[in-house]
Chain A
């Protein structure tokens, strides 16, 4: 079995599953948020705030945030390993890929902690 030190689930099959499950969560969350925005065109602060203060919504939002970070990592990993490699970039390819992946990991982690603060910190 081929494993890769930077893949999220340490196996292609697990990454595949993470990507699919998180996709379904994000689909449900996007439909929920876009739907609520479409149904309430004259949105005010009080109703917007109370929507995100619902405990069920806080849990849903946090699960969606976790899904977003996992989904983003699997996607970024796939794209960076496909294009930022030695076959495409020559000898420096691996260094470029690892640096790009490190920057993306940092951004993903920032999204996770920032998002958690927004959802629970209010």
Chain B
């Protein structure tokens, strides 16, 4: 089995443990909070990106609801929404949102599969994490072609 000694999560928990036990016992274990010197295995990268894309989608929901509201309000509003989407800035934001959505959905499927016992070993989790990245990049490129 692979053991990842320097995963950010592991360091984070070790550090939390240190913080908690500071009063009682000095563990003497080294702590490292420099994110740039921490190794980022592909699983950690997929995990943090899942969180970032989730926060992004939470904020982008405002834009999506606005577009839905505008486009359903009237014939005029529908046209306005279409014109808004064809501006480069709004187009970019919508592309970013669709890309984040695709990523979040694909990475979420990996979690759901793990929940039912598929891909729980470190090796499988790592391959699946790499697959999440590859599929999302393909999805993001296709979404770009679709929007522009």
Contacts and interface: CB of A to CB of B under 8 A. Distances in A.
A79 B72 contact: no
B65 A114 contact: yes
B112 A111 contact: no
Say which size band chain A's interface belongs to.
Answer: 20 to 34
Nearest to A69: B61
A89 B70 CA distance: 41
Interface residues of B, number: 26
B108 A23 contact: yes
A77 B139 CA distance: 28
A111 B105 contact: no
A38 B146 contact: yes
Contacts of A48: 71-72, 78
Contacts of B65: 111, 114-115, 118
B16 A87 contact: yes
Interface in A37-72: 38, 44-45, 48-49, 52, 68, 72
A104 B54 CA distance: 13
A102 interface: no
16 contacts: A23-B111, A23-B112, A27-B105, A38-B146, A44-B78, A48-B78, A49-B72, A72-B58, A75-B55, A75-B58, A76-B55, A104-B58, A111-B61, A114-B69, A115-B65, A118-B72
Q: Which 3 A-B pairs have the closest CB atoms?
A: A45-B78, A45-B75, A75-B54
Interface of A: 20, 23-24, 27, 30, 38, 44-45, 48-49, 52, 68, 72, 75-76, 79, 87, 104, 107, 111, 114-115, 118, 122
Interface of B: 15-16, 19, 51, 54-55, 58, 61-62, 65, 68-69, 71-72, 74-75, 78-79, 101, 105, 108-109, 111-112, 115, 146
